[in-house]
Structures are given as C-alpha cells and as structure tokens.
Amino acid sequence: MGARIALGPMLLAGAFYYFFGGASTTHVFAAMDAQRLELADVSAAPTQTHALDTGESDEGESDEVVSNDTDERAVLAFLRSRHTGLARHDELNVARTVVAEARRNGFDPALVLAVIQVESGGYNLAVSHVGAMGLMQLLPATAEELANRLDLDWRGPDSLFDPVLNVKLGTTYLKHLSDRYGDMTTALAAYNWGPGRIDKRIRKGSGLPLIYTNRIMQARELAEARREALPTTQS
C-alpha cells in the first residue's frame, strides 16, 4: 500500500468507510470475516531498555550505549534516514523493538523493516484513508483485539501512535497470518488485503494479488543489502 500519510486521527470516519464503504486496501481484522484471531499461545515479549550507538547524541542527552547488534544498527540507520516524527530516543526504542519482536516471532528483522518501509515509510503518524495507523498500519479494531490477547496496554486508537506497541502488534499479527496460511507470500497478501478476501480467492482458485508482496520482498532485499554494508563494530 505504501505510506498513507495524514495528520490527525481520522479514525471513526476511516473505520466506517472501511467496514461499509467497500474499501479494498489495508488489513482486515478476522472478526470482519466472521472469524476470530486465535492467539491464546502468544505472549508479550519482556521490555528491554538498552540503547544503540550512532556516534551522535542529542543536546542535553547522555551518550547512547554502543550496540554490536548489526540488525539493530541497520534498523536505526533506516529510521535516522527518514522523517519518522519521533524523538531520537524513541527511534532507538523502535530499532530495538523491531529486532526483538522479529526474532521472537521467527522473522528476519529485515522483513519487519520492509513492512514498515512499504506501509508507512517509517512515519510514525501515518494514517491511511481507511483508518489504518502508525508504522505498521494497523486498523484500531485489529490492534485492540491483539492488545487484549497479549495483555498490552490499550487506551484507544491513538495507542497505535506508540511506535513500540505498534511494532509489537504488527509483528504478532504477521506471525498469526504466517501460521494460518503456512507461507509468507500468502500471509503478506492477507496483511494487505485482509484474510477474508484472500480466503475467498483461495476458495475460488484465483491467484493471489502479488503487487504488495513483491514490494515487500524488494524492500527486504534493500534492507538486507544495507545491513551487509554496515561497518563492523568493535566490542
């Protein structure tokens, strides 16, 4: 879908359009398809607090702690190259969370970063025309259900502008879809089109929509290349 950037929570109007206006984009919560997410075995990852080194520090802030984790450095480098709408310390937390949540769910962090790049361009306040929000462009209904299942704090749709929460929920949702369909190509199509619409295409024997999936894979390749190009660090 790419970044859909707008300021301000156009939430109720976007959600109404999505549910009743026949929108054809972004993610559909399983309840919309007369199904429910089954996440009973999923638990939230513990919070960590270390930071990363970029060779810079904000005025009035302490120096950032060096990280030798190449994935964390690669994610941070991407975020620092974009207009994220985030403070530097929040970018550090997002970099850490992307890597931690990717590994917890069995993903290459480059894949999660690719989803963020295609969905929001890394802009934390991105809002789609159908009301999907934040870095990984989740609909509030989807996110609220996931947050409840994961016992994460949910204070309404604007919670999706908490980038750490957004990444946790988005990565968990992608894991759910990957487990459901058994392959990442179909999972990514469902992340974009909604599982109900993908299920209908599968039942009819129709081919999967691949434009979004191909964009994710191209972005992943670029993320992998950027990671490989990073200079090594010394302990």
Residue carrying the six token digits 């156009």: 10
Q: Where are the alpha helices (DSSP H) in 25-139?
A: 70-80, 88-104, 109-120
Active-site residue, 119 included = yes
Determine phi and psi for 138, rounding to 5 degrees.
-100, 145
> Residues for the chain: how many in total?
235
Are 216 and 114 spatial neighbours (Cβ–Cβ below 8 Å)? yes
**Annotated catalytic residue within 64, 119, 144, 145:** 119
How does 156-193 read in b/e, with b if 16+ C-beta sit within 10 Å?
ebebbbbbbbbbbbbbbbbbbbbebbeebebbbbbbbb
CA angle at 128 for the pair 25 and 156, rounded to the nearest 5°: 110
Determine phi and psi for 127, rounding to 5 degrees.
-135, 125
C-alpha–C-alpha distance, residues 29 and 31, integer Å? 5
As annotated, the active-site residues are: 119
